[in-house]
Amino acid sequence: MFPMPENWKELTVKERQTARLQAWANAGLEFTTPEAKKAYEQRTRMISDVVQLKKPERIPIIPWVGVYPAQYNGVTVEKLMYDYEVLGDTFRKFNADFLPDSLVSCSMIGPGKVYELLNIQHYHWAGHGTPPNTSYQYVEEEYMRADEYDTLINDPSHFFQHTYLPRVVGSLGPWAMLSPWTNVIELPLVAMAAVPVGIPNVQQSYQKLLAAGQAALEWFGAVGPIENASMAGLGLPQIISGITKAPFDYLGDTLRGTRGIMLDMYRQPAKLMEAMERLVPIAIELGLSGANAANSPFVFMPLHKGADGFMSNKDFEKFYWSSLKVVLLGLIDAGAIPYIFVEGGYNQRLDIISDSGIPAGHTVWMFDQTDMKEVKKKLGGWAAFGGNVSGSLLKAGKPQEVTDYVKRLIDDVAGDGGYILANGAVLDDATAENVHAMIDTGKEYGKY
């Protein structure tokens, strides 16, 4: 938990960020060796320097890893979702063998048992609809209908409880019978709100939820020590803790689907804008709660449906950027550091996102298929950035090609700081030699 200073309200935004960075650097881990402690301090220092646009001693290397550790360790993703001992072996091994500058966390793999108990409908996962050795799959549909904007806007929490969750979580179907808890304002209303909970179906749904909760806690109890072993044993700081999304993706991925939201841009733009505005404080809180709980300033934000090709720049500014910017500013105001995964290409958007309304040294932008020289031109001196080593190179290239690519990238854009070395798309499939080539080249060639 982030120990919030008592005078928080009086602190400037920069002081808040510094307070979070310091708390993260002094995480109170029980390091197993003095070397691990030293390495942890060095890594948090390098990363802090980069965020604050100073020149670190070396370029930090923060790969973005998905299910690749399973392949590396010769086990299936399915196994990792059910057998936490193997999960631990796999991620401890991955972190120890590759030694990046931040923890590669096992938490994103997730617990298959919990998903089963809840009877999740909107995802397939390894062995449950997708092959045992792959990442999960989202079944994108219009889980919120076009005519439900007002219900969402009126009370997002109740919309989730009463409408969205029953549609996507099989075991919570009966929750469509529940009434809003905000009804509970007079004694007789307490009883009225409790009545639907007594319905046998609803009772069953709660029983399943209790079992899922227990299974989730069990998983969480297993994940903690696994992460801790790499953090305290190898001196790897945890970067990603909080997660949140752009309001457009919140709606476009989760609720309306691509087709739905794209039609809404024409058919009901005002409702769409209103809903996104409504989701802004919810998105900020989602990011901050994770950052606070894990005591890490970084809030991970994958950007999905605003990439080049998804819409015109004019629409991007109106529908995507305007509310995303408010979320970024909300996180920054609380001292957090948005760590933004700019998926796909953003070659047309660089002028828009390098918005002078966002203070310098408060965001991190990780790119995939965006021209990095342009990124450096537009973002350099304003925000930290990195990424771009491609998935195709790491899978089908040769180690020497990876080494050459990384060197060229460093020559081109690492300049005098503010730069992080990373792959562009989440690492699911690659060769170990290539991943080593990327990380090792960064370590040798990335000294300033």
Q: Which phi and psi (to 5°) does residue 347 adopt?
A: -65, -30
Minimum distance of other proteins from residue 51's CB (angstroms): 28
The strand pair at 123-126 and 137-138 is best described as antiparallel
Please report, as ranges, the residues that interact with other proteins according to CB under 8 A: 130-131, 134-135, 137-140, 258-259, 262-263, 265-267, 309-312, 315, 344, 369, 390-397, 425, 427-430
Nearer to ligand B12, 67 or 169 (CB): 67
- In the list ligand B12, other proteins, none, the entry touching 158 (Cβ below 5 to 8 angstroms by class) is none
- In the list ligand B12, other proteins, none, the entry touching 205 (Cβ below 5 to 8 angstroms by class) is none
Can you tell me the distance from the alpha carbon of 233 to that of 223, in angstroms, rounded to the nearest whole number?
A: 15
Does residue 430 contact residue 394 with C-beta atoms inside 8 Å? yes
Does residue 419 contact residue 59 with C-beta atoms inside 8 Å? yes
Minimum distance of ligand B12 from residue 368's CB (angstroms): 5
Q: Counting contacts by CB under 6 A, is residue 106 touching ligand B12? A: no
- In the list other proteins, ligand B12, none, the entry touching 393 (Cβ below 5 to 8 angstroms by class) is other proteins
Strand order in the sheet with 137-138: 129-130, 123-126, 137-138
Minimum distance of ligand B12 from residue 109's CB (angstroms): 12
Q: Which phi and psi (to 5°) does residue 98 adopt?
A: -100, -25
Nearer to other proteins, 259 or 408 (CB): 259
Nearer to ligand B12, 285 or 429 (CB): 429
Does residue 15 contact residue 21 with C-beta atoms inside 8 Å? no
Nearer to ligand B12, 90 or 369 (CB): 369
Q: Counting contacts by CB under 6 A, is residue 137 touching ligand B12? A: yes
- In the list ligand B12, other proteins, none, the entry touching 262 (Cβ below 5 to 8 angstroms by class) is other proteins
**Tokens 């771009």 -> residue:** 388
Can you tell me the distance from the alpha carbon of 315 to that of 311, in angstroms, rounded to the nearest whole number?
A: 6
Alpha-helix runs per DSSP H in 398-431: 399-409
Alpha-helix runs per DSSP H in 141-268: 149-154, 156-159, 165-168, 187-198, 200-234, 247-249, 257-267
Nearer to other proteins, 24 or 136 (CB): 136
Nearer to other proteins, 151 or 258 (CB): 258
Least Cα distance to 326 among 248, 269, 258, 270 occurs for 248
Burial of 411: CB neighbours in 10 Å, binned 0-12, 13-18, 19+: exposed
Among 140, 155, 315, 404, binds ligand B12 (CB under 6 A): 140
> What is the enclosing helix (H) or strand (E) of 384?
strand 384-387
Among 8, 138, 181, 220, binds ligand B12 (CB under 6 A): 138
Q: Counting contacts by CB under 6 A, is residue 253 touching ligand B12? A: yes
Least Cα distance to 45 among 408, 448, 438 occurs for 448
Nearer to other proteins, 289 or 390 (CB): 390
Segment 325-354, which members bind ligand B12 (CB under 6 A)?
343-344
Does residue 120 contact residue 137 with C-beta atoms inside 8 Å? no
Estimate to the nearest angstrom the gap between the alpha carbon of 413 and the chain centroid. 25
Segment 368-387, which members bind ligand B12 (CB under 6 A)?
368
Q: Counting contacts by CB under 6 A, is residue 254 touching ligand B12? A: no
Q: Counting contacts by CB under 6 A, is residue 256 touching ligand B12? A: no
- In the list ligand B12, other proteins, none, the entry touching 395 (Cβ below 5 to 8 angstroms by class) is other proteins
Minimum distance of other proteins from residue 307's CB (angstroms): 9
Binding mask 300-319 for ligand B12 (x = CB under 6 A): ----xx-x-x----------
Minimum distance of other proteins from residue 77's CB (angstroms): 10
Q: Which two tokens stand for residue 416?
A: 């005098």
Minimum distance of ligand B12 from residue 128's CB (angstroms): 13
Can you tell me the distance from the alpha carbon of 360 to that of 303, in angstroms, rounded to the nearest whole number?
A: 20
Least Cα distance to 153 among 320, 323, 274 occurs for 274
Estimate to the nearest angstrom the gap between the alpha carbon of 202 and the chain centroid. 32
Q: Counting contacts by CB under 6 A, is residue 49 touching ligand B12? A: no
Q: Counting contacts by CB under 6 A, is residue 258 touching ligand B12? A: yes
- In the list other proteins, ligand B12, none, the entry touching 253 (Cβ below 5 to 8 angstroms by class) is ligand B12
- Give the CA diameter of the chain: 73
Q: With the CA atoms of 33, 294, 422 and 124 taken in that order, what torsion angle do they form, in degrees rounded to the nearest 10? A: 120
Minimum distance of ligand B12 from residue 21's CB (angstroms): 26
- In the list ligand B12, other proteins, none, the entry touching 304 (Cβ below 5 to 8 angstroms by class) is ligand B12
- In the list ligand B12, other proteins, none, the entry touching 396 (Cβ below 5 to 8 angstroms by class) is other proteins
Contacts with ligand B12, residue ranges (CB under 6 A): 66, 135, 137-138, 140, 253, 258, 304-305, 307, 309, 343-344, 368, 391, 425-426, 428
